[in-house]
Chains A and B, each alone.
Chain A
Amino acid sequence: MAELWIERLERPGLHITDLRVPGGHILCLHGPSGSGKTLLLRAIADLDPNNGQVWLGDRVRERLPAAQWRRQVIYVPPVSHWWAETVRPHAARWAEDMLAALGFERDVLDWSVRRLSTGERQRLAVLRALAREPEALLLDEPTANLDPANTEHMEKLLRDFARERQAPLLWVSHDPAQRAQVGDTEHRLVEGRLQ
Protein backbone atom coordinates (compact mmCIF):
# COMPACT_ATOMS: atom_id res chain seq x y z
CA MET A 1 0.00 0.00 0.00
CA ALA A 2 1.22 3.43 -1.01
CA GLU A 3 2.06 5.98 1.63
CA LEU A 4 1.91 9.70 0.87
CA TRP A 5 5.03 11.24 2.34
CA ILE A 6 5.72 14.97 2.31
CA GLU A 7 9.23 15.98 3.23
CA ARG A 8 10.61 19.52 3.70
CA LEU A 9 7.92 21.16 1.62
CA GLU A 10 8.52 24.89 1.32
CA ARG A 11 6.73 27.73 -0.36
CA PRO A 12 6.04 31.29 0.79
CA GLY A 13 3.79 30.92 3.84
CA LEU A 14 4.33 27.18 4.21
CA HIS A 15 6.98 25.10 5.96
CA ILE A 16 6.22 21.39 6.32
CA THR A 17 9.11 19.29 7.59
CA ASP A 18 7.58 15.84 7.65
CA LEU A 19 4.04 14.62 7.01
CA ARG A 20 3.04 11.03 6.37
CA VAL A 21 -0.33 9.60 5.41
CA PRO A 22 -0.28 5.80 5.22
CA GLY A 23 -2.32 4.09 2.52
CA GLY A 24 -5.94 3.63 3.57
CA HIS A 25 -5.65 6.32 6.25
CA ILE A 26 -7.49 9.59 6.49
CA LEU A 27 -5.48 12.47 7.92
CA CYS A 28 -7.61 15.44 8.87
CA LEU A 29 -6.17 18.94 8.71
CA HIS A 30 -7.58 21.97 10.42
CA GLY A 31 -6.46 25.41 11.46
CA PRO A 32 -7.50 29.04 11.25
CA SER A 33 -8.25 30.46 7.83
CA GLY A 34 -5.09 31.73 6.18
CA SER A 35 -3.00 29.14 7.98
CA GLY A 36 -1.96 27.52 4.69
CA LYS A 37 -4.22 24.47 4.37
CA THR A 38 -5.11 25.18 0.76
CA LEU A 39 -1.51 26.21 0.02
CA LEU A 40 -0.36 22.86 1.34
CA LEU A 41 -2.79 20.79 -0.73
CA ARG A 42 -2.04 22.80 -3.87
CA ALA A 43 1.70 22.44 -3.30
CA ILE A 44 1.42 18.66 -2.90
CA ALA A 45 -0.49 18.48 -6.19
CA ASP A 46 2.28 20.65 -7.70
CA LEU A 47 -0.12 23.34 -8.82
CA ASP A 48 2.06 26.17 -7.52
CA PRO A 49 5.84 26.55 -7.43
CA ASN A 50 7.26 24.86 -4.32
CA ASN A 51 10.37 23.13 -3.05
CA GLY A 52 10.59 19.81 -1.31
CA GLN A 53 9.93 16.16 -1.89
CA VAL A 54 6.67 14.32 -2.10
CA TRP A 55 6.50 10.57 -2.38
CA LEU A 56 3.64 8.25 -3.21
CA GLY A 57 4.92 4.83 -2.20
CA ASP A 58 8.28 4.51 -3.94
CA ARG A 59 7.45 7.08 -6.62
CA VAL A 60 8.90 10.55 -6.15
CA ARG A 61 6.90 13.43 -7.53
CA GLU A 62 9.70 15.17 -9.40
CA ARG A 63 10.50 12.08 -11.44
CA LEU A 64 6.96 11.78 -12.78
CA PRO A 65 5.54 14.04 -15.48
CA ALA A 66 3.40 16.65 -13.68
CA ALA A 67 0.15 15.60 -15.35
CA GLN A 68 0.69 11.96 -14.41
CA TRP A 69 1.38 12.93 -10.79
CA ARG A 70 -1.81 14.98 -10.62
CA ARG A 71 -3.85 12.13 -12.05
CA GLN A 72 -2.64 9.93 -9.21
CA VAL A 73 -2.81 12.54 -6.47
CA ILE A 74 -5.92 14.57 -7.16
CA TYR A 75 -6.66 17.83 -5.40
CA VAL A 76 -10.38 18.60 -4.99
CA PRO A 77 -10.92 22.30 -4.20
CA PRO A 78 -13.92 23.55 -2.21
CA VAL A 79 -15.29 25.41 -5.23
CA SER A 80 -15.31 23.45 -8.46
CA HIS A 81 -14.98 24.77 -11.99
CA TRP A 82 -16.54 23.15 -15.04
CA TRP A 83 -15.48 23.64 -18.62
CA ALA A 84 -18.11 21.81 -20.68
CA GLU A 85 -21.81 22.45 -21.12
CA THR A 86 -23.10 19.28 -19.44
CA VAL A 87 -21.75 17.10 -16.64
CA ARG A 88 -20.83 14.05 -18.73
CA PRO A 89 -17.74 15.29 -20.64
CA HIS A 90 -15.95 16.06 -17.37
CA ALA A 91 -14.94 12.43 -16.93
CA ALA A 92 -14.37 9.58 -19.36
CA ARG A 93 -16.03 6.91 -17.24
CA TRP A 94 -18.38 7.81 -14.38
CA ALA A 95 -18.80 5.17 -11.70
CA GLU A 96 -22.50 4.43 -11.56
CA ASP A 97 -22.47 2.98 -8.06
CA MET A 98 -20.78 6.08 -6.70
CA LEU A 99 -23.29 8.38 -8.43
CA ALA A 100 -26.02 6.41 -6.72
CA ALA A 101 -24.19 6.49 -3.39
CA LEU A 102 -24.34 10.30 -3.45
CA GLY A 103 -28.00 10.32 -4.42
CA PHE A 104 -27.80 10.95 -8.16
CA GLU A 105 -29.80 9.31 -10.92
CA ARG A 106 -27.99 8.32 -14.09
CA ASP A 107 -29.54 11.24 -16.01
CA VAL A 108 -27.53 13.76 -13.98
CA LEU A 109 -24.77 13.33 -16.55
CA ASP A 110 -26.89 15.11 -19.15
CA TRP A 111 -27.75 18.00 -16.88
CA SER A 112 -26.47 21.44 -17.73
CA VAL A 113 -23.66 22.47 -15.40
CA ARG A 114 -25.13 25.95 -15.10
CA ARG A 115 -28.23 24.61 -13.42
CA LEU A 116 -26.45 22.60 -10.74
CA SER A 117 -26.78 23.81 -7.17
CA THR A 118 -23.65 24.47 -5.10
CA GLY A 119 -24.13 21.21 -3.25
CA GLU A 120 -24.68 19.22 -6.44
CA ARG A 121 -21.52 20.73 -7.89
CA GLN A 122 -19.54 19.79 -4.84
CA ARG A 123 -20.73 16.19 -4.87
CA LEU A 124 -20.11 15.85 -8.61
CA ALA A 125 -16.65 17.41 -8.27
CA VAL A 126 -15.65 14.63 -5.88
CA LEU A 127 -17.19 12.07 -8.22
CA ARG A 128 -15.33 13.33 -11.28
CA ALA A 129 -12.09 13.04 -9.30
CA LEU A 130 -12.96 9.50 -8.15
CA ALA A 131 -13.87 8.59 -11.75
CA ARG A 132 -10.18 8.96 -12.59
CA GLU A 133 -9.28 6.28 -10.06
CA PRO A 134 -6.69 8.30 -8.15
CA GLU A 135 -4.26 6.70 -5.74
CA ALA A 136 -4.46 9.53 -3.24
CA LEU A 137 -6.89 12.39 -2.63
CA LEU A 138 -6.37 15.90 -1.29
CA LEU A 139 -9.78 17.08 -0.15
CA ASP A 140 -10.40 20.73 0.64
CA GLU A 141 -13.59 20.86 2.76
CA PRO A 142 -15.45 18.33 0.62
CA THR A 143 -18.69 18.69 2.57
CA ALA A 144 -18.73 22.47 3.08
CA ASN A 145 -21.88 22.99 1.02
CA LEU A 146 -23.73 19.78 1.83
CA ASP A 147 -26.74 19.17 4.05
CA PRO A 148 -26.38 16.64 6.94
CA ALA A 149 -27.71 13.67 4.94
CA ASN A 150 -25.43 14.31 1.97
CA THR A 151 -22.51 15.00 4.30
CA GLU A 152 -23.00 11.56 5.79
CA HIS A 153 -23.14 9.92 2.36
CA MET A 154 -20.01 11.75 1.28
CA GLU A 155 -18.12 10.73 4.41
CA LYS A 156 -19.05 7.12 3.92
CA LEU A 157 -18.15 7.15 0.22
CA LEU A 158 -14.74 8.66 0.85
CA ARG A 159 -14.00 6.40 3.81
CA ASP A 160 -14.92 3.33 1.77
CA PHE A 161 -12.77 4.57 -1.08
CA ALA A 162 -9.77 5.00 1.22
CA ARG A 163 -10.20 1.52 2.76
CA GLU A 164 -10.92 -0.37 -0.45
CA ARG A 165 -8.17 1.19 -2.55
CA GLN A 166 -5.79 1.58 0.39
CA ALA A 167 -5.48 5.19 -0.70
CA PRO A 168 -4.11 7.92 1.59
CA LEU A 169 -6.52 10.85 2.06
CA LEU A 170 -5.65 14.33 3.26
CA TRP A 171 -8.88 15.95 4.37
CA VAL A 172 -9.27 19.60 5.38
CA SER A 173 -12.24 19.97 7.72
CA HIS A 174 -13.41 22.72 10.05
CA ASP A 175 -15.84 20.46 11.85
CA PRO A 176 -14.41 18.70 14.97
CA ALA A 177 -17.22 16.13 14.88
CA GLN A 178 -16.41 15.27 11.28
CA ARG A 179 -12.70 14.96 12.06
CA ALA A 180 -13.49 12.60 14.91
CA GLN A 181 -15.84 10.67 12.63
CA VAL A 182 -13.65 10.16 9.54
CA GLY A 183 -10.09 10.93 10.62
CA ASP A 184 -7.53 8.33 11.66
CA THR A 185 -5.21 11.15 12.68
CA GLU A 186 -5.57 14.88 12.84
CA HIS A 187 -3.12 17.73 12.60
CA ARG A 188 -3.44 21.43 13.21
CA LEU A 189 -1.81 23.89 10.85
CA VAL A 190 -0.87 27.33 12.18
CA GLU A 191 0.96 29.93 10.12
CA GLY A 192 2.10 27.36 7.63
CA ARG A 193 3.53 24.94 10.21
CA LEU A 194 2.16 21.70 11.59
CA GLN A 195 1.59 21.57 15.32
Chain B
Amino acid sequence: MNGGVIPLGGFELGLAASLLALAGALSWRLQMGVERRLLVAAVRAAVQLSLLGLVLQQLFHTLSPWLIAAVAGLMLAVAGYEVWSRQGRHLKGWWGYGTGMLSMLLSSVSIALITVQVILQPTPWFHPQYLIPLLGMLLGNTMTGIAVAMDTLGRETWNRQGEIEARLMLGEHAIEAIGDIRRSALRAGLIPILNSMAAAGVVSLPGMMTGQILAGGNPLQAARYQILILFLIAAGTALGTASAVLIASHRLFDKRERLRLDRLN
Protein backbone atom coordinates (compact mmCIF):
# COMPACT_ATOMS: atom_id res chain seq x y z
CA MET B 1 0.00 0.00 0.00
CA ASN B 2 1.33 3.37 -0.94
CA GLY B 3 -0.90 5.77 0.96
CA GLY B 4 1.01 9.02 1.27
CA VAL B 5 -0.13 11.61 3.76
CA ILE B 6 -3.72 12.69 4.17
CA PRO B 7 -3.35 16.46 4.54
CA LEU B 8 -4.59 18.09 7.73
CA GLY B 9 -6.22 21.52 7.67
CA GLY B 10 -7.82 23.86 10.14
CA PHE B 11 -11.11 21.96 10.00
CA GLU B 12 -9.57 18.63 10.98
CA LEU B 13 -7.60 20.17 13.82
CA GLY B 14 -10.73 22.02 14.95
CA LEU B 15 -12.52 18.68 15.28
CA ALA B 16 -9.71 17.40 17.51
CA ALA B 17 -9.86 20.60 19.53
CA SER B 18 -13.57 20.11 20.13
CA LEU B 19 -12.78 16.74 21.69
CA LEU B 20 -10.36 18.54 23.99
CA ALA B 21 -13.06 21.10 24.78
CA LEU B 22 -15.28 18.22 25.79
CA ALA B 23 -12.60 17.06 28.25
CA GLY B 24 -12.40 20.62 29.59
CA ALA B 25 -16.17 20.78 30.03
CA LEU B 26 -16.05 17.49 31.93
CA SER B 27 -13.34 18.88 34.21
CA TRP B 28 -15.46 21.98 34.86
CA ARG B 29 -18.62 19.94 35.49
CA LEU B 30 -16.88 17.57 37.92
CA GLN B 31 -15.00 20.45 39.55
CA MET B 32 -11.68 18.83 38.85
CA GLY B 33 -10.19 22.27 38.36
CA VAL B 34 -7.82 21.43 35.53
CA GLU B 35 -9.74 23.11 32.68
CA ARG B 36 -7.64 26.27 32.84
CA ARG B 37 -4.37 24.39 32.81
CA LEU B 38 -5.70 22.17 30.03
CA LEU B 39 -6.45 25.25 27.94
CA VAL B 40 -3.07 26.83 28.57
CA ALA B 41 -1.20 23.61 27.84
CA ALA B 42 -3.19 23.00 24.64
CA VAL B 43 -2.62 26.53 23.37
CA ARG B 44 1.07 26.30 24.24
CA ALA B 45 1.45 23.01 22.40
CA ALA B 46 -0.40 24.32 19.33
CA VAL B 47 1.60 27.55 19.16
CA GLN B 48 4.98 25.90 19.84
CA LEU B 49 4.46 23.12 17.31
CA SER B 50 3.16 25.48 14.62
CA LEU B 51 6.15 27.74 15.12
CA LEU B 52 8.45 24.73 14.95
CA GLY B 53 6.79 23.66 11.72
CA LEU B 54 7.32 27.13 10.25
CA VAL B 55 10.92 27.26 11.40
CA LEU B 56 11.67 23.79 10.04
CA GLN B 57 10.09 24.70 6.71
CA GLN B 58 12.36 27.71 6.54
CA LEU B 59 15.36 25.65 7.61
CA PHE B 60 14.73 22.98 4.94
CA HIS B 61 14.50 25.74 2.41
CA THR B 62 17.67 27.65 3.24
CA LEU B 63 19.82 24.83 4.66
CA SER B 64 21.84 27.49 6.50
CA PRO B 65 24.20 25.78 8.96
CA TRP B 66 24.17 28.85 11.22
CA LEU B 67 20.42 28.88 11.44
CA ILE B 68 20.40 25.15 12.18
CA ALA B 69 23.02 25.65 14.90
CA ALA B 70 20.95 28.47 16.37
CA VAL B 71 17.81 26.32 16.51
CA ALA B 72 19.76 23.44 18.07
CA GLY B 73 21.24 25.83 20.63
CA LEU B 74 17.81 27.17 21.52
CA MET B 75 16.46 23.63 21.96
CA LEU B 76 19.37 22.82 24.24
CA ALA B 77 18.86 25.95 26.31
CA VAL B 78 15.16 25.27 26.79
CA ALA B 79 15.86 21.63 27.71
CA GLY B 80 18.44 22.84 30.24
CA TYR B 81 15.86 25.11 31.82
CA GLU B 82 13.34 22.25 31.97
CA VAL B 83 15.86 20.03 33.77
CA TRP B 84 16.58 22.81 36.23
CA SER B 85 12.93 23.55 36.95
CA ARG B 86 12.01 19.91 37.53
CA GLN B 87 14.37 19.52 40.48
CA GLY B 88 13.03 20.01 43.98
CA ARG B 89 16.49 20.89 45.26
CA HIS B 90 19.01 22.06 42.74
CA LEU B 91 22.54 23.34 42.97
CA LYS B 92 22.74 27.07 43.56
CA GLY B 93 23.99 29.48 40.93
CA TRP B 94 25.16 28.49 37.48
CA TRP B 95 25.92 24.96 38.64
CA GLY B 96 22.24 24.08 38.80
CA TYR B 97 21.55 25.10 35.24
CA GLY B 98 24.97 24.33 33.83
CA THR B 99 25.21 20.73 35.07
CA GLY B 100 22.05 19.69 33.24
CA MET B 101 23.00 21.67 30.13
CA LEU B 102 26.49 20.28 29.97
CA SER B 103 25.27 16.73 30.48
CA MET B 104 22.78 17.11 27.65
CA LEU B 105 25.42 18.65 25.45
CA LEU B 106 27.70 15.70 26.16
CA SER B 107 25.00 13.12 25.55
CA SER B 108 22.25 14.32 23.22
CA VAL B 109 24.19 16.67 20.99
CA SER B 110 27.20 14.42 20.62
CA ILE B 111 25.05 11.37 19.90
CA ALA B 112 22.93 13.26 17.36
CA LEU B 113 26.10 14.42 15.63
CA ILE B 114 27.61 10.93 15.60
CA THR B 115 24.37 9.53 14.20
CA VAL B 116 24.16 11.89 11.23
CA GLN B 117 27.87 11.66 10.54
CA VAL B 118 28.36 7.92 10.87
CA ILE B 119 25.03 6.10 10.72
CA LEU B 120 22.62 8.06 8.50
CA GLN B 121 25.05 10.18 6.47
CA PRO B 122 22.63 12.54 4.71
CA THR B 123 23.93 15.29 2.39
CA PRO B 124 24.74 17.74 3.71
CA TRP B 125 25.43 15.97 7.01
CA PHE B 126 23.69 18.75 8.96
CA HIS B 127 20.49 18.43 6.89
CA PRO B 128 17.77 19.58 9.31
CA GLN B 129 15.37 16.86 8.17
CA TYR B 130 17.53 14.43 10.16
CA LEU B 131 19.49 16.48 12.64
CA ILE B 132 16.66 18.47 14.21
CA PRO B 133 14.17 15.62 14.81
CA LEU B 134 16.97 13.39 16.12
CA LEU B 135 18.18 16.09 18.46
CA GLY B 136 14.62 16.77 19.58
CA MET B 137 13.97 13.13 20.42
CA LEU B 138 17.29 12.79 22.21
CA LEU B 139 16.93 16.01 24.18
CA GLY B 140 13.34 15.25 25.14
CA ASN B 141 14.26 11.86 26.54
CA THR B 142 17.65 12.51 28.11
CA MET B 143 16.10 15.60 29.68
CA THR B 144 13.69 13.40 31.61
CA GLY B 145 16.42 11.01 32.71
CA ILE B 146 18.79 13.75 33.80
CA ALA B 147 16.06 15.68 35.62
CA VAL B 148 14.90 12.60 37.52
CA ALA B 149 18.47 11.61 38.42
CA MET B 150 19.46 15.07 39.60
CA ASP B 151 16.23 15.47 41.52
CA THR B 152 16.82 12.12 43.26
CA LEU B 153 20.42 13.05 44.03
CA GLY B 154 19.51 16.42 45.52
CA ARG B 155 16.56 15.16 47.51
CA GLU B 156 18.24 12.05 48.89
CA THR B 157 21.39 13.93 49.81
CA TRP B 158 19.30 16.48 51.66
CA ASN B 159 17.24 13.85 53.47
CA ARG B 160 20.14 11.55 54.29
CA GLN B 161 22.61 14.19 55.46
CA GLY B 162 23.04 12.38 58.77
CA GLU B 163 24.02 9.12 57.12
CA ILE B 164 26.48 10.75 54.72
CA GLU B 165 28.13 12.75 57.48
CA ALA B 166 28.27 9.72 59.78
CA ARG B 167 30.37 8.00 57.15
CA LEU B 168 32.58 11.05 56.66
CA MET B 169 33.10 11.29 60.43
CA LEU B 170 34.36 7.73 60.44
CA GLY B 171 36.96 8.55 57.80
CA GLU B 172 35.26 7.45 54.60
CA HIS B 173 35.86 9.32 51.38
CA ALA B 174 33.08 11.48 49.94
CA ILE B 175 32.65 9.03 47.06
CA GLU B 176 32.02 6.13 49.44
CA ALA B 177 29.76 8.20 51.67
CA ILE B 178 27.47 9.23 48.80
CA GLY B 179 27.89 6.01 46.78
CA ASP B 180 24.49 4.53 47.61
CA ILE B 181 22.70 7.75 46.77
CA ARG B 182 24.60 8.12 43.53
CA ARG B 183 23.62 4.63 42.49
CA SER B 184 19.95 5.14 43.29
CA ALA B 185 19.94 8.46 41.39
CA LEU B 186 21.43 6.76 38.33
CA ARG B 187 18.91 3.96 38.53
CA ALA B 188 16.00 6.38 38.88
CA GLY B 189 17.17 8.30 35.81
CA LEU B 190 17.47 5.18 33.67
CA ILE B 191 14.25 3.43 34.63
CA PRO B 192 11.96 5.33 32.20
CA ILE B 193 13.99 4.45 29.11
CA LEU B 194 14.52 0.86 30.26
CA ASN B 195 10.79 0.52 30.72
CA SER B 196 9.94 2.04 27.38
CA MET B 197 12.43 -0.21 25.60
CA ALA B 198 10.90 -3.25 27.28
CA ALA B 199 7.34 -2.20 26.44
CA ALA B 200 8.06 -0.93 22.92
CA GLY B 201 5.89 -2.61 20.32
CA VAL B 202 4.07 -4.78 22.83
CA VAL B 203 2.34 -2.35 25.12
CA SER B 204 3.11 0.96 23.44
CA LEU B 205 3.47 1.99 19.82
CA PRO B 206 6.34 4.45 20.01
CA GLY B 207 5.53 7.95 18.76
CA MET B 208 8.07 8.14 16.01
CA MET B 209 7.13 4.82 14.48
CA THR B 210 3.47 5.75 14.62
CA GLY B 211 4.29 9.02 12.90
CA GLN B 212 6.20 7.37 10.08
CA ILE B 213 3.41 4.86 9.49
CA LEU B 214 0.76 7.59 9.48
CA ALA B 215 2.91 9.49 7.02
CA GLY B 216 2.78 6.51 4.67
CA GLY B 217 6.15 4.99 5.47
CA ASN B 218 7.01 1.31 5.24
CA PRO B 219 6.28 -0.29 8.65
CA LEU B 220 9.46 -2.35 8.59
CA GLN B 221 11.58 0.71 7.89
CA ALA B 222 9.62 2.56 10.56
CA ALA B 223 10.45 -0.23 13.03
CA ARG B 224 14.15 0.02 12.17
CA TYR B 225 14.14 3.75 12.65
CA GLN B 226 12.41 3.26 15.98
CA ILE B 227 15.00 0.71 17.09
CA LEU B 228 17.75 3.12 16.08
CA ILE B 229 16.13 5.91 18.05
CA LEU B 230 15.54 3.78 21.14
CA PHE B 231 19.17 2.68 21.19
CA LEU B 232 20.35 6.23 20.74
CA ILE B 233 18.05 7.47 23.48
CA ALA B 234 19.16 4.74 25.86
CA ALA B 235 22.82 5.47 25.18
CA GLY B 236 22.25 9.20 25.47
CA THR B 237 20.28 8.89 28.69
CA ALA B 238 22.89 6.65 30.29
CA LEU B 239 25.69 9.00 29.27
CA GLY B 240 23.81 12.14 30.24
CA THR B 241 22.55 10.81 33.56
CA ALA B 242 25.97 9.49 34.52
CA SER B 243 27.71 12.77 33.77
CA ALA B 244 25.03 14.83 35.53
CA VAL B 245 25.23 12.65 38.65
CA LEU B 246 29.02 12.72 38.59
CA ILE B 247 29.26 16.49 38.23
CA ALA B 248 26.49 17.26 40.73
CA SER B 249 27.70 14.83 43.41
CA HIS B 250 31.21 16.21 43.02
CA ARG B 251 29.86 19.71 43.61
CA LEU B 252 28.10 18.57 46.81
CA PHE B 253 31.48 18.20 48.49
CA ASP B 254 34.38 20.62 48.76
CA LYS B 255 38.12 20.10 48.61
CA ARG B 256 38.18 18.84 52.21
CA GLU B 257 35.45 16.33 51.37
CA ARG B 258 32.87 18.11 53.51
CA LEU B 259 29.23 17.71 52.62
CA ARG B 260 28.09 21.16 51.49
CA LEU B 261 24.32 21.26 51.68
CA ASP B 262 24.59 25.04 51.54
CA ARG B 263 25.23 24.58 47.84
CA LEU B 264 21.70 23.21 47.42
CA ASN B 265 18.54 25.19 47.80
Residues of A with Cβ closer than 8 Å to B? 45-49, 65-68, 70-72, 74-77, 79-83, 128-129, 132
* Set of chain A residues within 8 Å of B257, measured between Cβ atoms: 65-67
- Known A-B contacts A80-B166, A82-B163; the reply to A67 vs B258 at CB < 8 A is no
Contact A66 B180 (CB under 8 A): no
Measured in the bound complex, the distance between the Cα atoms of B172 and A81 in whole Å is 14
Q: Is B169 an interface residue (CB 8 A)?
A: yes
Contact B172 A67 (CB under 8 A): yes
Contact B170 A129 (CB under 8 A): yes
12 CB-based A-B contacts, threshold 8 Å:
A45-B169, A49-B256, A66-B256, A66-B257, A70-B169, A77-B166, A77-B169, A79-B162, A81-B166, A82-B163, A82-B166, A83-B163
Measured in the bound complex, the distance between the Cα atoms of B164 and A83 in whole Å is 8
Measured in the bound complex, the distance between the Cα atoms of B163 and A79 in whole Å is 11
Which A-B residue pairs are the 9 nearest by beta carbons? A71-B171, A81-B162, A81-B166, A66-B257, A66-B256, A83-B163, A70-B171, A67-B173, A81-B163
* Set of chain B residues within 8 Å of A47, measured between Cβ atoms: 165, 168-169, 258-259
* Set of chain A residues within 8 Å of B166, measured between Cβ atoms: 77, 80-83
* Set of chain B residues within 8 Å of A74, measured between Cβ atoms: 169-171
Q: Is B12 an interface residue (CB 8 A)?
A: no
Closest chain B residue, CB of each to CB of A67: B173
Measured in the bound complex, the distance between the Cα atoms of B168 and A76 in whole Å is 11
Measured in the bound complex, the distance between the Cα atoms of B160 and A82 in whole Å is 10
Residues of B with Cβ closer than 8 Å to A? 162-163, 165-174, 180, 254-259
Contact A132 B254 (CB under 8 A): no
Partner pick for B168 among A70, A79, A82, CB 8 A cutoff: A70
* Set of chain B residues within 8 Å of A76, measured between Cβ atoms: 169
Contact A49 B254 (CB under 8 A): yes
Partner pick for A68 among B167, B171, B180, CB 8 A cutoff: B171
Closest chain A residue, CB of each to CB of B258: A47
- Most-contacted residue by chain A among B173, B256, B258 (CB, 10 A): B256
Measured in the bound complex, the distance between the Cα atoms of B180 and A128 in whole Å is 20
Contact A70 B254 (CB under 8 A): no
Measured in the bound complex, the distance between the Cα atoms of B165 and A80 in whole Å is 10
Contact A48 B258 (CB under 8 A): yes
* Set of chain B residues within 8 Å of A132, measured between Cβ atoms: 170-171
Contact B170 A81 (CB under 8 A): no
Contact A66 B258 (CB under 8 A): yes
* Set of chain A residues within 8 Å of B171, measured between Cβ atoms: 67-68, 70-72, 74, 132
